[in-house]
DNA sequence: CAGTGGTCTAGACCACGCT
DNA sequence: GCGTGGTCTAGACCACTGT
């Protein structure tokens, strides 16, 4: 921490912001892992030489940001990408008749190592000789193939993931467990497109069928873009839900 | 306010929540109007018989929720639906090449009073004899007709709006100014559809062209659903942007 | 300069969950 | 019962804005 009464300086940051960043760094570097409990507010305050109120403000901000979660009477924990939470936060496709909040099954079609084209290299800011992992899979909702996914991951961050025979349905939980990469923020771009030949085959739709295409760039806790994913959905009985607050 | 040390009760709410709701009610009933300044933290604290810290927590929560905005050294104000803020918050269509953050022009095609069908009545929870205003317009982006909008408003909340010859581009600002209705939250549901005959004519697209359809229900500060809107966009050079945090 | 919100501290008490 | 986070208070000082 800085001195208790910081002088005005060009790089001034509020104490609680500094505490916030320090805790985030500790999580990024793996000192505190997903699911683990943090020291109590008073312990952290003593540790960092600030008041309990300042620690509280930092912890609350991180809780707001889904980095931590708190349980009264128990403690403060590092957030974990459980399936339910991911469904709520990063999976926005819903059945039109909301009656089936069913967990979508994902079938792996193919995994391969590819040489990225110019635009994909730019997304990840990769050097010219770096490889990218491509995962091709299809999600079924209500027992019908509904969403075709093409997922791109820089090989440097996910070494040897391309050699796995099976992958879990919740990739984000998998990234977190095996590569210490927590997907924190993402940007989705939606368009309407026509089904191409592969779509027709995989999703079992006719030519001329409109699909909802979602392009996602996902960023880790440290801000790096670590995943690019294209989802093409048969939106006959589905929609993509957005809540604006 | 309640007594300073509230006993545990089934209807217990934290003080700052009560303050928050009280301020929200004042805004809803029009005591404090959009753009106006609120009393200072200390004045509010005296007024309500709570401490300044509690008022602050309520004001900060409302600021987080876009109901208020605060300017250091000046004061706390009721949020106003300015064009720029609405663009940022409630208008998520962007050019694919982000170079033109141009304000989309909206051309009014038709306004009429209609008898809602069953599903539309359900959206607004209307009695069987109530009428709904339908507004039909088209937005141009980069000088090309891109989005066709059908907007539905219960006549009870927007009396005589259907008689207006001209309507401003930013309807949400207009609702706020003329009807004291502030759009606060909204839910968008996105699908891919094929252009129908009207789409083809208005958006100048061919049959078989895929369109991005957005169905929105918008709610006012008091939680009532006050607008339903269907936007059909030619997403050839556009996309709908979602930030997931 | 006066007044506003922003930060930081210190301390009290409450509600909750576990053991 | 004990330790945790949640609420509430009181007071000090800083940073910004407009006069």
Average pLDDT rounded to a whole number, residues A200-216: 97
> Strands, E, within chain B: which ranges?
68-71, 75-78, 93-95, 105-114, 132-141, 144-154, 183-194, 210-220, 225-233, 238-244
* Tokens (6 digits) for A53: 């109120």
CB–CB of B211 and A188 under 8 A? no
Which neighbouring-strand residues pair with A112?
A134
Q: pTM, whole model, 2 decimals?
A: 0.93
Average pLDDT rounded to a whole number, residues B122-133: 96
User: Which residues does strand D reach (CB under 7 angstroms)?
Assistant: A 5, 7-8, 12, 38, 40-43, 53, 56, 60, 70-76; B 4, 6, 14-17, 50-54, 57, 71-74
pLDDT of residue A142: 86
- Per-residue pLDDT for A218 more than 70? yes
CB B141 within 8 A of CB B95: yes
CA distance B120 to B115: 9
Of residues B18, B13, B59, B34, the one with CA closest to residue B184: B34
pLDDT of residue B63: 97
Average pLDDT rounded to a whole number, residues A215-238: 97
DSSP letter assigned to residue B224: -
Of residues B142, B131, B157, B44, the one with CA closest to residue B96: B142
In this complex, the answer to whether residue B85 has its CB under 7 A from any atom of chain C, a nucleic strand, is no
Output the CA–CA distances (angstroms, integers) from residue A178 to A125, A154, A157, A172, in the order listed: 23, 15, 11, 10
pLDDT in tens, A14-44: 999 999 999 999 999 999 999 999 999 999 9
* Strand D nucleotides in reach of protein CB atoms, 7 A cut-off: 3-11, 13-18
Output the CA–CA distances (angstroms, integers) from residue B226 to A66, A239, B175, in the order listed: 31, 22, 10
> Could you identify the residue written with the tokens 């670590």?
A226
Interface mutation vs chain A, best among B79, B87, B190, most A CBs within 10 Å: B190
CA distance A28 to A179: 11
pLDDT of residue B5: 39
DSSP track, B115-175:
---HHHHHHHT--TT--EEEEEEEEEETTEEEEEEEEEEETTTSTTGGG-S---S-HHHHH
CB–CB of A192 and B212 under 8 A? yes
* Tally of CB atoms within 10 A around B68: 21
**Chain A residues in contact with B90 (beta carbon < 8 A):** 244
Residue in B65, B192, B233 closest to A210 by CB = B192
Kindly report which listed range (A87-101, A178-192, B193-207, B208-222) carries the lowest average pLDDT score. A87-101
* Tally of CB atoms within 10 A around A110: 9
CB–CB of B244 and A186 under 8 A? yes
B188 → chain A, closest CA residue: A242
Residue in B66, B192, B243 closest to A192 by CB = B192
CB–CB of A192 and B211 under 8 A? yes
Count CB pairs under 8 A between chains A and B: 98
pLDDT of residue B104: 81
Output the CA–CA distances (angstroms, integers) from residue A156 to A161, A218, A227, B197, in the order listed: 10, 16, 12, 50
pLDDT in tens, A142-201: 889 999 999 999 999 999 898 988 999 889 999 999 999 999 999 999 999 999 999 999
- Which residues contact residue A71 at a Cβ distance below 8 angstroms, ignoring those fewer than 6 apart? A77
Residues of A in CB contact (< 8 Å) with B are 65-66, 89-90, 92, 185-194, 208, 210-213, 215, 233, 235, 238-245
**Chain B residues in contact with A239 (beta carbon < 8 A):** 189-191, 215
CB B169 within 8 A of CB B91: no
B235 → chain A, closest CA residue: A191
Determine the protein residue whose CA lies at the shortest distance from the C1' of C4. B73
CB B17 within 8 A of CB B23: no
pLDDT of residue A3: 37
pLDDT band at A9 (very low <50, low <70, confident <90, very high): very low
A73: nt with nearest C1' to CA:
D4
* Tokens (6 digits) for B146: 């891109």
- Per-residue pLDDT for A2 more than 50? no
- Per-residue pLDDT for A68 more than 70? yes
In this complex, the answer to whether residue A2 has its CB under 7 A from any atom of chain C, a nucleic strand, is no
pLDDT of residue A156: 96
pLDDT band at A4 (very low <50, low <70, confident <90, very high): very low
pLDDT in tens, A79-117: 998 877 877 899 999 999 876 566 788 999 999 999 999
CB–CB of B243 and A185 under 8 A? yes
**Chain B residues in contact with A245 (beta carbon < 8 A):** 65-66, 185
Strand pairing class (B68-71; B210-220): unpaired
Reported as type and span, the H/E element at residue A177 is helix A171-179
**Chain A residues in contact with B211 (beta carbon < 8 A):** 192, 210
SS3 annotation, A52-72: HHHHHHHHHHHHHCCCEEEEC
Interface mutation vs chain B, best among A85, A94, A190, most B CBs within 10 Å: A190
CB–CB of B210 and A190 under 8 A? no
pLDDT of residue A11: 59
- A2 CA, D2 C1': separation in Å? 34
pLDDT in tens, B225-242: 999 999 999 999 999 999
CA distance A46 to A1: 12
Q: How far out from the chain centre does Cα A111 lie?
A: 20
Domains of chain B: 15-78 (1.10.10.10), 83-240 (3.40.1410.10)
Question: Cα Rg for chain A, rounded, in angstroms?
Answer: 21
CB–CB of B235 and A192 under 8 A? yes
DSSP letter assigned to residue B36: P
CB–CB of A188 and B244 under 8 A? yes
């Amino acid at each position: 921490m800085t001195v208790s009464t910081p002088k005005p300086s060009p790089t001034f940051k509020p104490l609680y912001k500094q505490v916030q960043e320090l805790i985030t760094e500790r999580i990024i570097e793996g000192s505190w892992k997903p699911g683990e409990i943090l020291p109590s507010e008073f312990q952290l305050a003593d540790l960092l030489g600030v008041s309990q109120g300042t620690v509280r403000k930092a912890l609350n901000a991180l809780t707001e940001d889904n980095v931590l979660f708190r349980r009264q009477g128990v403690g403060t924990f590092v957030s974990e990408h459980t399936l339910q939470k991911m469904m709520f936060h990063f999976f926005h496709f819903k059945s039109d008749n909301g009656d089936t909040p069913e967990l979508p099954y994902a079938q792996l079609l193919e995994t391969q190592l590819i040489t990225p084209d110019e635009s994909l290299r730019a997304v990840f800011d990769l050097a010219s000789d770096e490889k990218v992992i491509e995962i091709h899979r299809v999600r079924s909702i209500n027992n019908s193939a509904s969403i075709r996914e093409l997922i791109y991951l820089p090989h440097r961050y996910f070494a040897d993931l391309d050699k796995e025979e099976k992958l879990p349905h919740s990739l984000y939980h998998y990234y977190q467990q095996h590569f210490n990469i927590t997907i924190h923020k993402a940007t989705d771009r939606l368009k309407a497109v026509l089904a191409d030949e592969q779509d027709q085959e995989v999703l079992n739709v006719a030519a001329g069928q409109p699909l909802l295409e979602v392009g996602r760039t996902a960023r880790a806790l440290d801000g790096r873009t670590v995943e690019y994913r294209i989802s093409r959905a048969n939106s006959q009985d589905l929609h993509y839900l957005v809540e604006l607050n």
